[in-house]
Structure 1
C-alpha cells in the first residue's frame, strides 16, 4: 500500500470544513460538543458523506454513481485516494482509525435506497435503512473516538437508528410533498390508510398521528438502549453524545406538542430549549456502565458491529493526554456558557 502522510494536510482539512460550512447540522454539533481531536477527522468523514449524497442525488440514484463512489472507496482503502482534498482526507481517517470498508459502504447503499425512493413495509425494514444512513455514521464516529468494543458500537448504532426514526417522524409532510414516504406501510394499512392514496394528497388525520406516535416510541426505545453505551466512551466525548441523545429526543417531544402533526408544520426546538438540552448532556459524565451495555445489537445493525469486531485495530494510538482533556473541558464549558447566554437574551 502506498504510504500516506501521518496527518491530514491543513489545506485538505480546510477544504472539507469549507464544504460543510453552513450546511451540516451534524458536523456543527460535532465541532461544538466533541473534542477537536474527534471533530477534525469528523470533518473528513462528513465531507465524504456529503459528496456521496450529492453525487447519488445528482445521478438520481443511478447504478453508475454508486459504482463511481465504490471505486473511490476502493482507492481510498488502497492508500491511493483519487485527487481531491475530500478523498485524501477520508483516506487518512479510514487508515488511521481502521474504519472497516463495510461501514462507508453501508452508507452508500442507504443513500442509493433514498435516491430510488425505496419504501419500507414494517419497522425491521425501516431500521435496515436507518442502519445504513445513520447507524453506520454513528459507528464510524465511535471509532474516531478511539473506541472499538462491540457493546459501544452496538449502542452507538442504537442512537443512530433512534435519530433517524425521529427525523422521519419530524419530516412526514416534507417527505410526502417530495413524493417520498418512510412511514412503515403496514402500520398505515392497519390504520386504514392506503399509502398511495394518502401520498397523492397528504394531510394529517388521527390515524397518521397514531403512526407517528408509534415511530416516536420506537425512537425512544432506541435512545433508552443507547444510554448504556455513553459511559463506554472517553470522558471528553460523553457530554457531546449525551447532548445528541437529549436534543434528538427533544425533537420528538416537539412533534408531540404540536399534536403529532408533522405535515402542516415541521416541528422545531427553540434555541433556549435546545441549549438546555445540550447542557443536559453533561449529566452523561456521571453515568455508570450498567447491564444495558451487554444488550445484543439490533438485528438491523448487527452487520455493522460484526464488521468492526472483525477488523484489525489501528496501529497507532489515538488517545489524548490529561492536559488536552482538561483544555477540552474548559473550552466546552466556555462555549456552552456563551451559547446559553445568547439564547437567553435572544
Structure 2
C-alpha cells in the first residue's frame, strides 16, 4: 500500500480495519447464532454509516473514504455475507458454486472497494477485482490447508474431492488422502486461470492506478508457484516469500 498517496492509503487502512473486525467475529469460537447476531449488528451499523451517523470507531473511519471514492454499500454487505458463510460450523467441502460465491464475497468485494480507492475509472476495474479476488483467495486456501483443518475447516470443493475418489469431508482425513496433490493441483489451475483473466482486464486499465493490484497479483502468483513446487503432501511446511523476493516484486511492479 506504500505505493499509494497518503489519503488513499488511509482509506485502504480503514477498509482493512473493517475487514479485520468482521473476520474476527467469524473466527471467534462462539456459537454460530451469537456470531450471526454480531454480524447483523454490523449490517445495522452500515445503514447508520450510509446515513452519515456511524457509531463504531471503525465505521467512523470509513465516512470520508465512502464519500471521496464512492464506495458502495453492497460491497461491504457482501463482505459480511461472506463472513457469515465462514462463521457456520459446517462450512466444509463446499460445492464449487458456493466456493466461488464465498471467494467473491470475502475477496472479490474487497477488490471492488479497493479499485475505487486506487482511482481507476475504466469499467474493467471490476473484472480485475473479481478475477483477482478469486485467484488470491484460492491461493490462500491452498496455502492454509493445515491451519484451516485445525479449525475444522476445509475449503476444497466437493466436486474435486469426488473427481479424485475422496468420499470423506473430514479435513484431516482429506489432507492425508493419497489424492490430495491432484485435488490441489486442479484448484491451483483454476487460480492460475483467474490470474490470467485479471491480467487481461488490467491491460484495459491505467498501469499507474492499478500498481497496488499488480504488486499483490505477482506476490500471490509467486506463492502459488512455490506451493506447486512444494506440493500438498507436506502441508505443515510453510510457504512464504523471502524478503528479497518481496523487495524484487515491489521494485519490478510497483516502482518501474
Q: TM-score, normalised by structure 2?
A: 0.89
Q: Distance in 2 between matches of 1:61 and 1:229?
A: 38
Counterpart of 1:87 in structure 2 is 59
Deviation string, structure 1 residues 40-71 (Cα, Å, up to 9, x no partner): 11111111111122234335443211210101
> How far is the alpha carbon of 1:263 from its aligned partner?
2.0
> How far is the alpha carbon of 1:133 from its aligned partner?
0.2
Q: Distance in 2 between matches of 1:157 and 1:92?
A: 25
Report if the CA contact (8 A) 1:35-1:237 is conserved.
no
Q: 2:27 aligns with which of 57, 72, 75?
A: 57
Q: 1:210 aligns with which of 177, 182, 197?
A: 182
Any residues of structure 2 matched to 1:159-174 within 5 Å, and which? Answer: 159-174=132-147
Provide structure 1 residue ranges, at least 5 long, that are not aligned to the other structure.
1-29, 283-331, 334-346
Deviation string, structure 1 residues 214-271 (Cα, Å, up to 9, x no partner): 1111111111111133344444333322111111011111111112335232322222
Deviation string, structure 1 residues 102-138 (Cα, Å, up to 9, x no partner): 1000000101111114235433321110000000000
Q: Distance in 1 between matches of 2:97 and 2:234?
A: 23
CA RMSD of aligned residues (A): 2.1
Counterpart of 2:229 in structure 1 is 257
Report if the CA contact (8 A) 1:246-1:280 is conserved.
no
Report if the CA contact (8 A) 1:158-1:223 is conserved.
yes
Q: Distance in 2 between matches of 1:99 and 1:262?
A: 41
**3-state secondary structure, aligned to 1:265:** coil
Counterpart of 2:111 in structure 1 is 138
Q: Distance in 2 between matches of 1:170 and 1:85?
A: 33
Report if the CA contact (8 A) 1:152-1:229 is conserved.
yes
**Aligned residue-pair number:** 252
Q: Distance in 1 between matches of 2:22 and 2:204?
A: 30
Q: Distance in 1 between matches of 2:183 and 2:5?
A: 38
CA gap 1:61/1:35 in 2 versus in 1, 3 angstroms: farther
Report if the CA contact (8 A) 1:231-1:238 is conserved.
no
Deviation string, structure 1 residues 165-222 (Cα, Å, up to 9, x no partner): 00001111111121100001121122121233x4254544441001111111111111
Counterpart of 1:237 in structure 2 is 209
Provide structure 2 residue ranges, at least 5 long, that are not aligned to the other structure.
none
CA gap 1:73/1:177 in 2 versus in 1, 3 angstroms: same
Report if the CA contact (8 A) 1:173-1:265 is conserved.
no
CA gap 1:56/1:98 in 2 versus in 1, 3 angstroms: same
Report if the CA contact (8 A) 2:96-2:158 is conserved.
no
Report if the CA contact (8 A) 1:204-1:261 is conserved.
yes
Q: 1:151 aligns with which of 112, 121, 124?
A: 124
CA gap 1:96/1:60 in 2 versus in 1, 3 angstroms: farther
Counterpart of 1:247 in structure 2 is 219
Any residues of structure 2 matched to 1:119-130 within 5 Å, and which? Answer: 119-130=92-103
CA gap 1:114/1:121 in 2 versus in 1, 3 angstroms: closer
Report if the CA contact (8 A) 2:168-2:174 is conserved.
no
CA gap 1:52/1:268 in 2 versus in 1, 3 angstroms: same
Comparing 252-261 and 212-221, the one that deviates more? 252-261
